[in-house]
Amino acid sequence: MAQQQGARNLTVVGTASPPIDAVERVTGQAKYVGDIELPGMLVAKVLRARHAHARIVSLDTSRAEALPGVKAVITHKDAPKVPIWGNRTYALNEQVRFAGEAVAAVAAVDEETAEKALRLIDVKYEVLKFVLDPEEAVKPGAPQLFPDGNLEGQPRVLTRGDVERAFAECDRVIERVYHCPTMWSGGMEPRVAIAQWEGNKLTLWASTQAPCRVQTNLTGQFNLADSQVRVIASYVGGGFGTKSAAHVDETIAALLARKARRPVKLQYSREEEILDSNTRFETRVYVKIGVKRDMTLHAMDVKAYINQGAYHVRLGGLGNQATHIYKTPHLRTVQYRVHTNLPNTGPTRGVGDPQETFAIDSAMDEIANEMGWDPVEFRLKNVKRNGDPIARGGTGPEDGRLVTQVTDRCIEEGAARIGWARRNAAPGAGQTGPKARGIGVAVTERGNGGGLAGATVTVNLDGSVVVFYASTDIGTHSRTTLSMIAAETIGVALASVRAVAGDTEVAPYDGGSYGNRVLYSTGRAVDAAARDCREQIFATAAPMLKASAADLELRDGVVRVKADASRSLPLRELMQRRGRSVVGDGNVAQSQAEVNVERAAGAHFVEVEVDRETGKIRILRYISAHDVGQPINRTVVENQIEGGTIQGLALTQAEEMRFDPRDGRCLNANFLDLKPPTMLDFDARVIEPIVVDNVGEQGPYGAKGLGENPCHPGMAAVANAVYNASGIRLRRVPFTRADVLRALAEQRTGVSRTA
Amino acid sequence: MAQQQGARNLTVVGTASPPIDAVERVTGQAKYVGDIELPGMLVAKVLRARHAHARIVSLDTSRAEALPGVKAVITHKDAPKVPIWGNRTYALNEQVRFAGEAVAAVAAVDEETAEKALRLIDVKYEVLKFVLDPEEAVKPGAPQLFPDGNLEGQPRVLTRGDVERAFAECDRVIERVYHCPTMWSGGMEPRVAIAQWEGNKLTLWASTQAPCRVQTNLTGQFNLADSQVRVIASYVGGGFGTKSAAHVDETIAALLARKARRPVKLQYSREEEILDSNTRFETRVYVKIGVKRDMTLHAMDVKAYINQGAYHVRLGGLGNQATHIYKTPHLRTVQYRVHTNLPNTGPTRGVGDPQETFAIDSAMDEIANEMGWDPVEFRLKNVKRNGDPIARGGTGPEDGRLVTQVTDRCIEEGAARIGWARRNAAPGAGQTGPKARGIGVAVTERGNGGGLAGATVTVNLDGSVVVFYASTDIGTHSRTTLSMIAAETIGVALASVRAVAGDTEVAPYDGGSYGNRVLYSTGRAVDAAARDCREQIFATAAPMLKASAADLELRDGVVRVKADASRSLPLRELMQRRGRSVVGDGNVAQSQAEVNVERAAGAHFVEVEVDRETGKIRILRYISAHDVGQPINRTVVENQIEGGTIQGLALTQAEEMRFDPRDGRCLNANFLDLKPPTMLDFDARVIEPIVVDNVGEQGPYGAKGLGENPCHPGMAAVANAVYNASGIRLRRVPFTRADVLRALAEQRTGVSRTA
């Protein structure tokens, strides 16, 4: 990308522009799937099992079908015996594997009729024993969810060096376990899908991050060609990974619509959204860490249980954070991905990285404190820098070299901003009153998307520009940032660009909006498509300006001869004279090996106040320093950092999904009991984003992905700050007041009641 | 187009495939604009003037606005002072120029409320004198519709040779006048538009033939960029030209939606559709024609009055048929395009060509009969053949040479099929009973579309193909024929191709569906886009098959090395391995000069039975022989010929719009009185299409346009056959029973009461 590394004379990229669709969003004119009504559209409702584990013995839908107004009823007998994309489940299963699983669905003329029909469906179950704990689930004799057992494939094992020998070489070794429960992580908008058949063509509107994945699933479910399935996800009310893959609901809606021969809308309630989504999986991470006296991290042994619940979108576990961020010569990580009778799980913001960061960066802090080292100094000593080994394959042997990494600068800039030197020299030192203050740090990094990306860019006859991409804008403002890339590359004002997102029919295949990939990968596709446009424009302009295409430039909507600015032509006039639209095509597949060696770092610093009387942890100040490569839109970058930081902090406070051990049912599948934080819980003003100046190699204009990273460090940073404030060590999220008070009591009495 | 002229080994093009969207169409699953319901959508109704000519003195909408449920009322004060695209009218005018013109519009929560609101609008008019007759309208002292008078621009004059001198050289000269009244010519689906604003983005669903023209109009009306206006016309229930340009209704819907801040649907009633559409204009054509004894057509002088009505889409008058089809060394045509207080008019199937063919080919028949010549022989002697002069500029000097013309073969094949020799040697000869039979001929030709055409073609990851074009499929099955072109060019089965029509946002600029242009011009764009796809596919396949791209072929969905068929790769597998969609771009601008010299001919032969007692004319047999170049889909070609022929015949029978001379109001703005023919009026089995074998130069695979041509000759062919049967000459359509009986009476008495 020599062009990107040369003189950067950017006019649009790097500015702080308001979102181009801000007015539509705030005035309610932006159409979400829930806003769509189709003539003759039926309402779908889903009957859900109340057993955590059962087999359906009989299913009588005749009374429901006979109810006036009911147009279709489906059960597992109607579901194709084709697993939902990336999952083990069918659209409806004969075996129920979690309390809340769909067993039948009804389409009726209105909601009341549909709900009445659900009550008329007679299901007889053979109730089976269930298991909720991942470590219990892999023991002999545990209830089995699948014929091949509860373990998903082989354990994922990564080894480097000789861990056993290395621990013997260490000057200090500690062992700890860190626990994150199953946690809700959806968006404000519950899942919703509208299916409409026209002949053998299916149009599905869905609130999804990955329209092309949903399309792929539906072509498989119904044995259709790509051209016969159109998935549209124009506006999406948040996704965070829970909508990053196909789910059962889209297929259920399509099955009902096909059977009823009418359009069908299936809108999840909040309870359904919480129970039957791809929620954040429980992790139990055992960490053994060893250091040498010279402050080098020498060995790490990580054993993790990933509680996938009943079904799981096969898109990750832990991200092997430790292998990427720290130079650890001897390393072993073993991940057990286990099925239990909890609701299905999947990737949610950061996938397993927040949980892993919590474990690794807490353990790093613990051993630094035990050694009397400055945790920042310890990290700076051990973080990888450019040129250090990194796995080109993502995991496995470190056969590549890290590029454009600025982890150290994130740490240094964050430390300077918060005033790291102010921290308590020893935990709780000088904190005499009921309220103890302390400062903590945690660092993170992550790879950027990649995969198949596509976009087209059209220049209209009046010179206005439209960007088409099949990924969605899930609130990350990709409509705006991708339009900025097109504006910059073509050489027009942002105001003349509009973006059409999330329609599989009108844009080329694109992986979707997940994994830090839209800006990084789809952005490259937009850049390529815009270059294609610019070339076509120059080819048109050359004879008009009596110059060769290579001698032309296009800036501010005017094509000029570089050497003679008096020979120029406004794009609008050029297009009118050309009389044909310009269509640029930007399908790209980034080299995964090159993508994998370029990673984006972040360092979070937090100052907390622990109320030793109430157990409350208050965030006083929070610095989120991130490498985003070249920022495309500074406002969007700062919003993303703030949002992700809050989401990471939310995990420290609430959002645990709790289950009744007697029946496996979720006890808090509602916002009142789940307690996701609101505006009242966090003062966003305490969060200070730092955009660390940097330019990447693989993204458009050197941009890097950002979406996931700010969510990673929150748990570890707060735990480390609480330790610095009070000397208590929290190893399980959320950090409830009860946990804090219990730990303080243990600290006073010296008696531990926790692991 | 060497490739098209070489060995033609076609597998898809030229077959007779059922329409690819037949199931959607016949099961009602195809969505027309009327089928669309949007949440919160309002119903619009239009208040129409009952005066043929008036000035609005005052307009009080306050009572209507106060009515509960009324959300917006607009009048000429709300209409932008920007003429509707290609027209003189604003969306709403202060001066009323025909009885039925819109003066205000209301958007309300339901139809009843909207209609009630219309009755509460108080309009005070200053009534003005009106004029309905085009020849009266250009006389001094006639009521003036526009400040610059009633004549639209200068008369269109075309001269060649020296007409005055030439008539003196002729052996015979006759003068006649032929009259076609204002005639309805809409589709089954009345106009309908739905407008929805999202911020400053307007989406408009409309039943239109030319979404890009409607878009252009709306960008002008609202001062928006192309990217801010999306026009969608997925399925259209017939257009025939009346929907080939922007009309007031789309702007009215958009104005109401903007004012009400809610989506608005404006659906015309049948009466509104008849009154306020772009109907077929009245023509009065004076023909003076002179021949020499050697059967050469020597001179022709044509003077035509085009009654444009109040407003007129500036897209034509007569097509100068005589200049294109016959070698006429001395020629003059003068067209007066006149505004009168009749409803607005515009291009309808064939624009002015059916009327002109009626005049010219009746006069040709009259003079041939007077000279005792065989009308077929006379035509064959004088029709242009390949290499004869033709105007490269469409009109004006004949500076080019006609190519790929087969008028003579159309005449010969048609004559052979009907048994031309069977005709009465003299008019009515041997027809002794009450029912007299006779045979007539008329010939026609027409240029093909051209203009700006665009399409994109996408190949999905499973090898399925989608064709995008912004013109609409108005029943001409362009979805099918354009898909066939893509299938042929790429080398896949038609079953794997789908087409998306009529959406300005997802396809490049394309002129629209009119003037024989979709197949001919958009088809070229599709062909170009498909070639682009094929090249990209070959570039991907070359390394996989270890061959150069030039050595590859793609047939039946498999890429093969030409020289070694064992080295092959199914497209599906190739696309999966490629992992990126293929997007092909096919924007083309055909050279108008090349388009203009390639024309498509047709010859119609009809045998009629004239009932001398009832005046009824019965069609016994009708042969429609047409040059379509390379037929793309033979079924579609035959359907088009049948449909166009029936539409031409309908003009002989009914469809005249009649007006009360006392107030200028239309007397028959309903199907009952307008009497468009039904299935009961014509036995389609009497129509025999002949597809004359030919291959063109400028269209895809040598195809030519066809839509308009079959509508041209019907009036002349029937009039000529009636003459051959009975000796009476009909010079005004429709040929009512009263007209026939009157002419027969005149024939008996020798007294003429007609001109």
Last residue of a domain, one of B572, B590, B608: B590
Q: Is the dihedral of CA A271, A273, A275, A276 positive or negative?
A: positive
Query: B585 and A585 in contact by Cβ < 8 A?
Result: yes
Q: Does residue B748 carry a pLDDT above 60?
A: yes
Q: Residues A707, A622: one domain? A: yes
Model pLDDT, residue A677 = 86
Chain B closest-CA separation from residue A225 CA (Å): 6
CB of B425 within 8 A of CB of B447? no
Q: Does residue B2 carry a pLDDT above 60?
A: no
Structure tokens at A293: 């006296």
Last residue of a domain, one of B251, B275, B299: B275
Q: Does residue B453 carry a pLDDT above 70?
A: yes
Cβ neighbours of B585 in A, within 8 Å? 583, 585
Q: pLDDT band at A681, cuts 50/70/90? A: confident
SS3 at position A468: strand
Which segments of B559-618 does DSSP mark as H helices, in order? 571-578, 592-596
Question: Which of A370, A594, A708, A746 is the catalytic position?
Answer: A708
CATH of the domain at A405: 3.30.365.10
- CA dist B261 and A407 (Å) reads 50
Q: What is the mean pLDDT of residues B677-699?
A: 90
Q: What is the mean pLDDT of residues A236-260?
A: 95
CB of B287 within 8 A of CB of B277? no
pTM score, two decimals? Answer: 0.87
Q: Residues B407, B504: one domain? A: no
Query: B456 and A35 in contact by Cβ < 8 A?
Result: no
Q: Residues B700, B651: one domain? A: yes
Other Cβ atoms closer than 10 A to B436: 24
Query: A452 and B580 in contact by Cβ < 8 A?
Result: yes
B708 is catalytic: yes
Q: At what angle do helices A407-418 and A375-382 cross, to 10 degrees?
A: 170
Phi, psi of A473 (to 5 degrees): -100, 100
Of B29, B227, B585, the CB nearest to A465: B227
Q: Residues B462, B552: one domain? A: yes
Q: pLDDT band at A432, cuts 50/70/90? A: confident
Q: What is the mean pLDDT of residues A6-19?
A: 86
- Please indicate, yes or no, if residue B64 is contained in any of the structural domains: yes
CB of B484 within 8 A of CB of B17? yes
Q: Does residue A393 carry a pLDDT above 90?
A: no
Cβ neighbours of A582 in B, within 8 Å? 587
- CA dist A418 and A605 (Å) reads 7
- By the 10 Å C-beta count (0-12 exposed, 13-18 middle, 19+ buried), A43 is classed as buried
Cβ neighbours of A39 in B, within 8 Å? 35-37
Q: Residues A385, A504: one domain? A: no
- Please indicate, yes or no, if residue A515 is contained in any of the structural domains: yes
Of B21, B199, B589, the CB nearest to A29: B199
Q: Is the peptide bond before B68 cis (omega within 30 degrees of 0)?
A: no
| Residues facing A608 on adjacent strands | A438, A619
Q: How many CB pairs under 8 A join A and B?
A: 134
CATH of the domain at B193: 3.90.1170.50
Residues A73-107: tens digit of each pLDDT:
999 999 999 999 989 999 999 999 999 999 999 99
Q: pLDDT band at B753, cuts 50/70/90? A: low
ipTM of the assembly?
Answer: 0.77
Q: Does residue B7 carry a pLDDT above 60?
A: no
Of B199, B225, B580, the CB nearest to A23: B199
Cβ neighbours of A197 in B, within 8 Å? 29
Q: Does residue A8 carry a pLDDT above 60?
A: yes
- Please indicate, yes or no, if residue B157 is contained in any of the structural domains: no
Q: Does residue A754 carry a pLDDT above 70?
A: no
Q: At what angle do helices B714-726 and B634-653 cross, to 10 degrees?
A: 60
Residues B235-279: tens digit of each pLDDT:
999 999 999 999 999 999 999 999 999 999 999 999 999 999 889
- CA dist B419 and B524 (Å) reads 38
Model pLDDT, residue A303 = 97
Question: What is the signed CA dihedral for A127, A46, A203, B212, rounded to 10 degrees?
Answer: -150
- CA dist A166 and B484 (Å) reads 68
Q: What is the mean pLDDT of residues A374-402?
A: 93
Q: List for chain B the helix, strand, coil content (%; round to 5).
A: 30, 25, 40
Residues A580-613: tens digit of each pLDDT:
899 999 988 888 888 889 999 999 999 999 999 9
Model pLDDT, residue B3 = 40
Q: What is the mean pLDDT of residues A311-320?
A: 81
| Residues facing B564 on adjacent strands | B561
Q: Does residue A206 carry a pLDDT above 70?
A: yes
- Please indicate, yes or no, if residue A116 is contained in any of the structural domains: yes
CB-based contacts of A177: which residues, under 8 Å, 6+ apart?
A284, A285, A286, A287, A731, A755
- Please indicate, yes or no, if residue A7 is contained in any of the structural domains: yes
Q: Does residue A249 carry a pLDDT above 70?
A: yes
Distances from the Cα of B99 to the Cα of B116, B138, B662, angstroms = 21, 20, 12
Model pLDDT, residue A750 = 81
- By the 10 Å C-beta count (0-12 exposed, 13-18 middle, 19+ buried), A593 is classed as middle
Amino acid at B146: F
Residue with tokens 């090996």: A593
Structure tokens at A286: 């055992």
CB of B722 within 8 A of CB of B735? yes
Model pLDDT, residue B595 = 87
Of B38, B219, B227, the CB nearest to A498: B227
Chain A closest-CA separation from residue B405 CA (Å): 29
| Residues facing B148 on adjacent strands | none
HEC letters along B139-175: CCCCCCCCCCCCECCCCEEEEECCHHHHHHHCCEEEE
Question: What is the signed CA dihedral for B686, B687, B690, B696, rounded to 10 degrees?
Answer: 180
- CA dist B447 and B599 (Å) reads 4
Domain that holds residue B404: 352-446+596-727
- CA dist B95 and B107 (Å) reads 22
DSSP state of A386: T
Of B24, B199, B468, the CB nearest to A27: B199
**A339-368: b (≥16 Cβ within 10 Å) or e:** bbbbbbbbbbbbbbbbbbbbbbbbbbbbbb
Give the containing element (helix H, strand E) for B560.
strand B558-561
Q: Residues A44, A23: one domain? A: no
Model pLDDT, residue A6 = 42
Q: Residues B555, B653: one domain? A: no
Q: Residues B658, B545: one domain? A: no
HEC letters along B704-725: CCCCCHHHCCHHHHHHHHHHHH
Nearest to A571 by CA among A486, A459, A484: A459
- CA dist A486 and A500 (Å) reads 13
- Please indicate, yes or no, if residue B189 is contained in any of the structural domains: yes
Query: B509 and A461 in contact by Cβ < 8 A?
Result: yes
Cβ neighbours of B29 in A, within 8 Å? 197-199
Q: Residues B92, B233: one domain? A: yes
Give the containing element (helix H, strand E) for B255.
helix B248-260
Higher-confidence residue: B531 or A449? B531
Q: Residues A473, A584: one domain? A: yes
Q: Give me chain A's average pLDDT, please.
A: 94
Model pLDDT, residue B648 = 95
Q: Does residue B5 carry a pLDDT above 50?
A: no
Residue of A509, A526, A537 to mutate when probing chain B, most B C-beta within 10 A: A509
Residues B551-608: tens digit of each pLDDT:
999 999 999 999 998 999 999 999 999 988 999 999 888 888 888 899 999 999 999 9
Cβ neighbours of B23 in A, within 8 Å? 199-200
Model pLDDT, residue A280 = 95
CB of A728 within 8 A of CB of A743? yes
- CA dist A488 and A496 (Å) reads 11
Model pLDDT, residue A450 = 81
- CA dist A46 and A49 (Å) reads 10
Chain B closest-CA separation from residue A612 CA (Å): 51
HEC letters along B65-109: HHCCCEEEEEECCCCCCCCCCCCCCCCCCCEECCCCCEEEEEEEC
Query: In A516-652, which ranges are E strands?
Result: 552-555, 558-561, 564-570, 582-585, 588-589, 599-611, 617-627
- CA dist A421 and A207 (Å) reads 47
Residue of B460, B469, B479 to mutate when probing chain A, most A C-beta within 10 A: B460
Domain count, chain A: 3
End-to-end CA distance of chain B: 51
Model pLDDT, residue A753 = 54
Closest-approach residue (CA) in chain B for A197 = B29
Last residue of a domain, one of B275, B307, B326: B275
Residues B315-371: tens digit of each pLDDT:
678 888 888 999 999 999 999 999 999 999 999 999 999 999 999 999 999 999 999
CB of A64 within 8 A of CB of A73? yes
- Please indicate, yes or no, if residue A606 is contained in any of the structural domains: yes
Of B24, B496, B508, the CB nearest to A458: B508
Chain B closest-CA separation from residue A203 CA (Å): 12
Give the containing element (helix H, strand E) for B501.
strand B497-501
CB-based contacts of B257: which residues, under 8 Å, 6+ apart?
B42, B107, B195, B196, B197, B263, B264
- CA dist A327 and A318 (Å) reads 18
- Please indicate, yes or no, if residue A733 is contained in any of the structural domains: no
Residues A616-636: tens digit of each pLDDT:
999 999 999 999 999 999 999
Closest-approach residue (CA) in chain B for A509 = B581
CB-based contacts of A680: which residues, under 8 Å, 6+ apart?
none
**B461-499: b (≥16 Cβ within 10 Å) or e:** bbbbbbbbbbbbbbbbbbbbbbbbbbbbbbbbebebbbb
What proportion of chain A, given as a percentage, has pLDDT over 90? Answer: 86
Q: In what order do the strands lie in the sheet with B282-291?
A: B156-160, B330-338, B297-307, B282-291, B172-180
Closest-approach residue (CA) in chain A for B533 = A585
Model pLDDT, residue B315 = 66
Cβ neighbours of B580 in A, within 8 Å? 452, 454, 508-509, 587-589
- CA dist A268 and A256 (Å) reads 15
Closest-approach residue (CA) in chain A for B469 = A506
Q: Residues B579, B483: one domain? A: yes
Q: Does residue B687 carry a pLDDT above 50?
A: yes
Model pLDDT, residue A269 = 96
Q: Residues A501, A647: one domain? A: no
